[in-house]
Amino acid sequence: MKRTHHCNELRPAHVGQTVTLSGWVHSRRDLGGVIFIDIRDREGRTQTVFDPSDLPADLFARAEKLRSECVVSVTGKVRGRPDGTNNAKIATGEVEVAVTALEVLNMADVLPFPVDDPEVAAKVNEELRLKYRYLDLRRPEMARNLRLRSKAAIATRQFMDEQGFLEVETPILFKSTPEGAREFLVPNRREPGTFYALPQSPQQFKQILMVGGVERYYQLARCFRDEDQRADRQLEFTQVDIEMSFIEREDIYALIEGLLKRVWKATLNADVPIPFKRLRFEEALNRYGADKPETRFEMQLADFTGEFRSSAFKVFSGAVASGGVVKALNAKGLAGATQGQIETMTEYARSFGAKGLAYIKVENGEWKSPIVKFFNDAEKQALIAKLGIEEGDLILFAADQWLNACEILGKIRLYCAEVLQSQGKLTIDPNRFDFLWVVDFPLLSFDKEQNRWYSSHHPFTAPVAEDVPLLKTEPKKVRGQHYDVVVNGVELGGGSIRIHQPDVQKTIFEDVLQIPPEETKLRFGYMLEAFRHGAPPHGGIALGFDRLCAILSGTPSIRDVIAFPKTAKGVDLMTDAPAPASARQLRELHIKSSDGKS
């Protein structure tokens, strides 16, 4: 037998038993006469003792040769530690195993980076961690993340099963639907010049499943998007994909609240209060400057459009005159912001097309600002009243079209919070989870360059029933039956009630989105046809499972909750994928590469 107990199991109650532990050499302390070796497995670690007075010389000699991360199996007797030598840092710290037999299952080369010291290991260059991912995964932090992810997946499946959902797998080899994210194409060997595409999401299949009478579908679905990556975006990722028939928005809210409550309980033993708050899209932008508001701190935006409509400060009154708004934010206690910090904020504003960033520093009872000389008393009083201006505050302004002004200050709000946190002036409890729904999104957005409307979410989103008459007259005012679930400023997922009437869907495609009928037929014909054969009303949602796990694990990067993630350029540093294909493979696939490499 290679193991009788795992390495986080032995307690004083086991004293006297003969046990066998298997695992990795976590650390070795060779005192010359006696050697202590901590054996580590995925559960924890246990100290073993090699005492030469009890051991054959050759066994002791082999123990002397062990080094970090060798794989061993040791047998010995559990005993209590001598007085004063307990180790309170580990769960097995009251006992040790007096070794009588050692089997070296495998030696290990010297490590490229340490895995035993959490503080050092956490700082190791990620490039190195990814190249030697198998070592990285041995670190307790990473092992914990994988375990958390597994627990979250199991809790999801149990909950969805209890709620009567069927897990249905949908194809990975799908058809290109050239709208939305760039897709990965897979050449078809059987017919030159034709391609599959990997799905960006199972969206169309899950709707078809509703037409197929499944009624309640879910899947932990792998999705693929060939877009540039971020800390929270990978080329391939997993979403909890859900679709239900005969429901309204409220049913989805209740389902997801129940699901997230279950997942948080199962993984962190945390109690998530439900129901979640709800914020209208417009309100989220007006108050937090984002459609995924971070609500764990206040610092809300205020509106001064009315107050500055006829201001002597032309930047503000001019913005209002051209249909824009004036918004402001009070970063309490940030009057001491450095020039560099102000510059960073100004860059945020510029990246949204603003010319600059107006601000007021309130220091020594004075308003220090290049613009305050343009303000009259009424304007100043309005600022004081609405923003609660006090000594030490930093006031920041955005004057622009509504969405832009909100988003500029939204970005700056988050940046200010970061700075205030680093200065110890703002504390955000890392164990606090602020869930909320963002609702009442506009169904459509206008693309100025192409002079046409496009779907804010996707073209299958149903309009709010009472807004349907506005579709052809005032598209801007039509609200979609769309909803996003947000936690701590992270968009965890989104979904909608779908259009199930073929005529409404056709109107959206052809009249509103102005996709030519023949193209509609080519791209979505099978869906429209399916909807003509008895499509139930339905709706659904997709949750970003990697993001969910990252939140649970308390890490900002989803790479830390994916066993084998890719770099920003889409490279797997361990396997070196992607790699050139052989000439023979290309020939079979009827592919000619134009880069000259193959």
Partner RNA sequence: GGGGGUGUAGCUCAAUUGGUUAGAGCGCUGCCCUGUCACGGCAGAGGUUACGGGUUCGAGCCCCGCCACUCCCGCCA
Residues 232-271 that bind RNA (CB under 7 A): 232-233
Does residue 172 contact residue 198 with C-beta atoms inside 8 Å?
yes
Does residue 179 contact residue 205 with C-beta atoms inside 8 Å?
no
Shortest CB 77 distance to RNA, Å: 12
State which of residues 358, 559, 561, 562 lies at the interface with RNA (CB under 7 A): 559
Does residue 34 bind RNA (CB under 7 A)?
A: yes
Provide the CA 63 distance to its chain's centre, in angstroms.
45
State which of residues 6, 42, 62, 81 lies at the interface with RNA (CB under 7 A): 81
Considering just the CA atoms, what is the radius of gyration of the chain in Å? 30
Nearest to 207 by CA among 531, 532, 544, 542: 531
Q: Are strands 216-224 and 166-167 parallel, antiparallel or unpaired?
A: parallel
Shortest CB 26 distance to RNA, Å: 9
Q: Positive or negative CA dihedral for 524, 530, 531, 536?
A: negative
Does residue 8 bind RNA (CB under 7 A)?
A: no
Which is nearer to RNA, 5 or 45 (by Cβ)? 45
- Show Cβ contacts of residue 111 under 8 Å, excluding neighbours closer than 6 positions: 68, 69, 135
State which of residues 104, 124, 137, 272 lies at the interface with RNA (CB under 7 A): 124
Residues of span 172-201 touching RNA by CB under 7 A: 177, 179-182, 200-201
- Show Cβ contacts of residue 555 under 8 Å, excluding neighbours closer than 6 positions: 145, 561
Does residue 481 bind RNA (CB under 7 A)?
A: no
State which of residues 228, 503, 511, 519 lies at the interface with RNA (CB under 7 A): 228
Does residue 125 bind RNA (CB under 7 A)?
A: yes
Residues of span 41-80 touching RNA by CB under 7 A: 47, 49, 51-53, 67-68
Shortest CB 59 distance to RNA, Å: 14
Residue 562: exposure state from Cβ atoms within 10 A (0-12, 13-18, ≥19): buried
Q: Which stretch binds RNA (CB under 7 A): 90-98, 319-327, 378-386, 504-512?
A: 90-98
Which is nearer to RNA, 385 or 522 (by Cβ)? 522
Binding mask 507-546 for RNA (x = CB under 7 A): ----------------------------------------
Rounded CA-CA distance 324/53 in Å is 85
Does residue 117 bind RNA (CB under 7 A)?
A: yes
Does residue 231 bind RNA (CB under 7 A)?
A: yes
Q: Annotate 468-504 with b (16+ C-beta within 10 A) or e (fewer).
A: eebbeeebeebbbbbbbbbbbbbbbbbbbbbbbebee
Does residue 215 bind RNA (CB under 7 A)?
A: no
Helix (H, G, I), strand (E, B) or coil at 3: coil
State which of residues 107, 120, 428, 574 lies at the interface with RNA (CB under 7 A): 120
Does residue 139 bind RNA (CB under 7 A)?
A: no
Does residue 225 bind RNA (CB under 7 A)?
A: yes
Residues of span 445-474 touching RNA by CB under 7 A: 454-459
Does residue 381 bind RNA (CB under 7 A)?
A: no
State which of residues 17, 87, 369, 598 lies at the interface with RNA (CB under 7 A): 87
Does residue 342 bind RNA (CB under 7 A)?
A: no
Rounded CA-CA distance 511/508 in Å is 6
Provide the CA 72 distance to its chain's centre, in angstroms.
38
Does residue 490 bind RNA (CB under 7 A)?
A: no
Nearest to 523 by CA among 504, 542, 506, 537: 506
